[in-house]
Structure 1
Amino acid sequence: MKNIVLIGMPGAGKSTLGVLLAKALGRPFVDTDLLIQKREGKLLQSIIDQKGIQYFLTIEEEVILELEINNYVVATGGSVVYSQKAVNWLKKYGVVLYLSLPFEEIRKRVQNIKTRGVAMEKGQSLEALFMKRVPLYEQYADITIDCVGLTMEQVVELMVTEFN
């Protein structure tokens, strides 16, 4: 059985939906952001503030390349798509689901952009980040889940249908 890998913007619900999907399918769950925090002993935002975005992206890639899991639900950080090597590794052992939402919905959901540990350049807007990442999510996705207007439960139902 392959892993189910969730990608998407901050605020798309990767971590929350990942836990719910894992429960619904009876699979273990892992969140790569939590693995990064455990490895570094710091919150994501502290890593970015103290060591910079490039360091963070390097650690993110290393953590993913060290994953030896099978049949898991995996929530990734939104910046995982900046590493083709990491995404290829995830795709080799899993199916990649892109949780798609329009910018306005992401903007409503992400109120703490400066503190939540998002890999974005100084002065970069959330909209600019969205415009940069969406083509990458679309490129790497095996399946796109359009989450517009759906409850968490409805999104999980859609995902479960894909894998049962």
Structure 2
Amino acid sequence: MNNIVLTGMPGAGKSTIGVLLAKVLGYKFIDADILIQNSQGMLLREIIAKYGDDGFLKIENDVNKGITDQHAVIATGGSAVYCTDAMEKYMAEDTVIYINLPYEEIANRLGNIKRRGVVLKDGQTLKDLYNERTKLYEKYCHINIKAEGLGIEELLDSVAGMIIVRRDL
């Protein structure tokens, strides 16, 4: 096992848990969304506005594929699961963890999803997006953490515990 890659919907807590998990494991923390913004010198929503959803996903795929760090916790953007090349790389080289929250909890956590820079097709609702992505998160994960009702510390303990179990296999 090389890196720990966190996937899930926007608002699932990937970045929050990622920072804490990196501290617990003694790993680096990488926020892929920040790398994407830095690569373009723009916010996510500005990149989507300038290049469209497909252009943004190409940039996201390239950035995620290009991460060569070792012993890092990587918080991906919610749309990384559309990036086949990057996700196949992560599945082959790293441990991918899906932070799985029910739709209702995601909807309660999110405010203006456009402001967050979420790839959302015209006419697509958050529920549509959730249903579409859930299948991909399940496809591209080694560990599916059911995070409903868990606080930050409980989720951190659950993720760290699953990593330790996986290392021992």
| 3-state SS of 2:96 partner | strand
Given that 1:70 and 1:93 are in contact with CA atoms closer than 8 Å, whether structure 2 keeps it comes out as no
- Matched AA of 2:112: N
Deviation for aligned residue 1:122: 2.0
What does residue 44 of structure 1 align with?
44
- The size of the alignment, in residue pairs, is 164
Aligned structure 1 segments of 4 or more residues deviating by more than 2 angstroms: none
- Matched AA of 1:137: Y
What does residue 85 of structure 2 align with?
85
Distance 2:37 2:111 in 1: 21
- The share of aligned pairs that are identical, in percent, is 46
- Matched AA of 2:25: L
Deviation for aligned residue 1:109: 0.4
Superposed, which structure 2 residues align to 1:104-119 within 5 Å?
A: 104-119=104-119
Relative to the length of structure 1, the TM-score reads 0.97
Superposed, which structure 2 residues align to 1:66-105 within 5 Å?
A: 66-105=66-105
RMSD of aligned residue pairs (Cα, Å): 0.9
Given that 2:61 and 2:84 are in contact with CA atoms closer than 8 Å, whether structure 1 keeps it comes out as no
What does residue 163 of structure 2 align with?
163
Deviation for aligned residue 1:71: 1.2
Deviation for aligned residue 1:123: 2.2
- Matched AA of 1:133: R
What does residue 3 of structure 1 align with?
3
Distance 2:110 2:77 in 1: 14
Structure 1 gaps, min length 5: none
Write out per-residue CA displacement over residues 111-142 of structure 1, whole angstroms, 9 at most, x where no aligned residue. Answer: 12121000111221100000100001011110
Structure 2 gaps, min length 5: 165-169
